[in-house]
């Protein structure tokens, strides 16, 4: 978490429980059986071509009920990655970590397979095409429209904020908040662009707090073009 801990997650609050891993960092919410957010970094060192593991499984680091793949069975929702598999495909261990259920949220099929996935691809394209970028990402669920399985909260929307740090061009941010339903079918992730400030207002989190205040204020008020 180079640029800060958005919710001041810690090792005592079970609804804001910090789970640091080598591949990403999680703030977990035991009341929702769901992450509050996941934070990770992407640059060329994390990208490769190892085979997708697909080894969905409970996370032993979760201090409460450990969600299993069965909780999603016949729910109509995908086991949607928060930190995507393809952002950690330089080696099998890193890729496998993305299939921990603590890194999943119930996503509508069109959210997960279309707009969310398209933004994930765009993030990686920034890095692979230009080669000298580092991308810092925080993402998670928002709201509650019910539960599946053993009390796993279904979010109303899915949000993501991205900080693009380039070595030879201005730093930029991308922020989106996407409805978690089939209304997003055949739309573009760009249809859901907003500001980091707006995501902060919706979630109560403070993103990129380690940036200098003046730079943070400018970046977080802009809609990505």
Higher pLDDT pick, 136 / 167: 136
Helix, strand and coil content of the chain, in percent to the nearest 5, comes to: 30, 30, 45
Cβ atoms within 10 Å of 1's Cβ, excluding its own: 17
Radius of gyration from C-alpha coordinates of the chain: 16
Could you tell me the pLDDT band of residue 81, with boundaries at 50, 70 and 90?
very high
- What integer pLDDT is reported at residue 130 of this predicted model? 73
> What number is the average pLDDT over the span 93-99?
98
- What integer pLDDT is reported at residue 129 of this predicted model? 80
- Domain housing 149: 17-220
Confirm whether 96 is domain-assigned.
yes
- What integer pLDDT is reported at residue 71 of this predicted model? 99
Q: Which two tokens stand for residue 225?
A: 């073009």
Q: Tell me: pLDDT of 191 over 80.
A: yes
Q: Which two tokens stand for residue 137?
A: 């990402």
> What's the rounded Cα separation, in Å, for the pair 132 and 67?
37
The number of domains in the chain is 1
Confirm whether 126 is domain-assigned.
yes
Confirm whether 2 is domain-assigned.
no
Among 21, 32, 53, 81, the one annotated catalytic? 81
Q: What is the pTM of this model?
A: 0.96
Could you tell me the pLDDT band of residue 133, with boundaries at 50, 70 and 90?
confident
Q: Which two tokens stand for residue 149?
A: 């399985």
> What's the rounded Cα separation, in Å, for the pair 157 and 142?
5
How far, rounded to the nearest angstrom, does the alpha carbon of residue 157 sit from its chain's CA centroid? 12
Lowest mean per-residue pLDDT among 43-47, 114-118, 130-134, 150-154? 130-134
Q: Tell me: pLDDT of 157 over 90.
A: yes
Question: Average pLDDT over the chain, rounded to whole?
Answer: 96
Confirm whether 5 is domain-assigned.
no
Q: What Cα–Cα distance (Å) separates residue 59 from each residue in 19, 21, 71, 89?
A: 10, 11, 14, 19
- Does residue 186 carry a catalytic annotation? no
- What integer pLDDT is reported at residue 170 of this predicted model? 84
Q: Tell me: pLDDT of 132 over 90.
A: no
Confirm whether 26 is domain-assigned.
yes
What CATH number corresponds to the domain at position 36? 3.40.570.10
- What integer pLDDT is reported at residue 166 of this predicted model? 81
Q: Tell me: pLDDT of 68 over 70.
A: yes
Confirm whether 33 is domain-assigned.
yes
- What integer pLDDT is reported at residue 211 of this predicted model? 86
Residue 147: which H helix or E strand, with range? strand 147-148
Confirm whether 225 is domain-assigned.
no
Confirm whether 4 is domain-assigned.
no
How far, rounded to the nearest angstrom, does the alpha carbon of residue 93 sit from its chain's CA centroid? 19
> What's the rounded Cα separation, in Å, for the pair 153 and 4?
26
């Amino acid at each position: 978490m180079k640029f800060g801990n958005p919710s001041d997650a810690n090792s005592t609050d079970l609804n804001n429980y910090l789970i640091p891993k080598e591949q990403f960092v999680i703030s977990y919410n035991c009341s929702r059986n769901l992450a509050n957010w996941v934070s990770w970094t992407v640059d060329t060192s994390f990208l490769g071509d190892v085979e997708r593991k697909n080894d969905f499984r409970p996370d032993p680091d979760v201090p409460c009920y450990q969600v299993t793949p069965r909780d999603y069975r016949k729910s109509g929702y995908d086991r949607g990655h928060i930190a995507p598999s393809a952002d950690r495909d330089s080696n099998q261990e890193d890729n496998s970590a993305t299939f921990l259920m603590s890194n999943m949220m119930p996503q509508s099929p069109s959210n997960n397979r279309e707009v969310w996935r398209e933004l994930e691809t765009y993030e990686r394209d920034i890095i692979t095409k230009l080669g000298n970028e580092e991308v810092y990402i925080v993402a998670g669920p928002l709201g509650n429209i019910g539960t599946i399985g053993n009390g796993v909260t279904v979010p109303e929307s899915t949000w993501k904020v991205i900080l693009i740090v380039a070595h030879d061009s201005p730093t930029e941010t991308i922020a989106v908040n996407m409805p978690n339903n089939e209304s997003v079918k055949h739309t573009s992730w760009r249809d859901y662009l907003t500001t980091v400030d707006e995501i902060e207002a919706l979630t109560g989190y403070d993103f990129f707090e380690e940036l200098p205040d003046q730079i943070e204020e400018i970046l977080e008020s802009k809609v990505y073009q």
